[in-house]
Amino acid sequence: MSKKVLYTLEYPVRCSPGILFEFLSQPSGLQEWFADAVDEKDGEYSFSWNGTVEKADLLEMEENKFIRFRWKHMAKDEYFEFCIDKSEVTNQTILVIKDFADKKDIKDQSQLWEYQVKDLFHRIGS
């Protein structure tokens, strides 16, 4: 089995960090764009797509800055993260997504994120 590699995607967003963070961290916000249904109990998130449930642990979070999850079935050193950054030049909000994938799958995984982020931007009016 090949070791997965970390990759990073960045998307400029026309939205305040506070509003964006709600969509990245709250079950109600996440189910608007990321999954069909999202539940959270004691730091464990359950994400449902078409009746299939995947569970993830909340590893770390700093309000309006970032949130990091690890899928239950993934290696201990792998995670996915949503980070909110600001461009120092334009002062624009930037959504940074960090995720792990096999090298050969990064393009496909990036396209999946692209599709989901488009849905997010539609929901927040960006």
Give the start-to-end residue ranges of the domains of the chain: 5-124
Candidate CATH numbers 3.40.50.10190, 3.10.105.10, 3.40.50.450, 3.30.530.20; the one for domain 5-124: 3.30.530.20
Q: How far is CA 123 from each of CA 16, 18, 50, 119, rounded to the nearest angstrom? A: 14, 15, 20, 6
- Say if CB 33 and CB 23 are below 8 A apart: yes
90: confidence class by pLDDT, cuts 50, 70, 90: confident
pTM attached to this predicted model: 0.92
- Say if CB 9 and CB 97 are below 8 A apart: yes
In this predicted structure, what is the pLDDT of residue 2? 59
Task: Give the sign of the dihedral formed by CA 75, CA 60, CA 33, CA 122.
Answer: negative
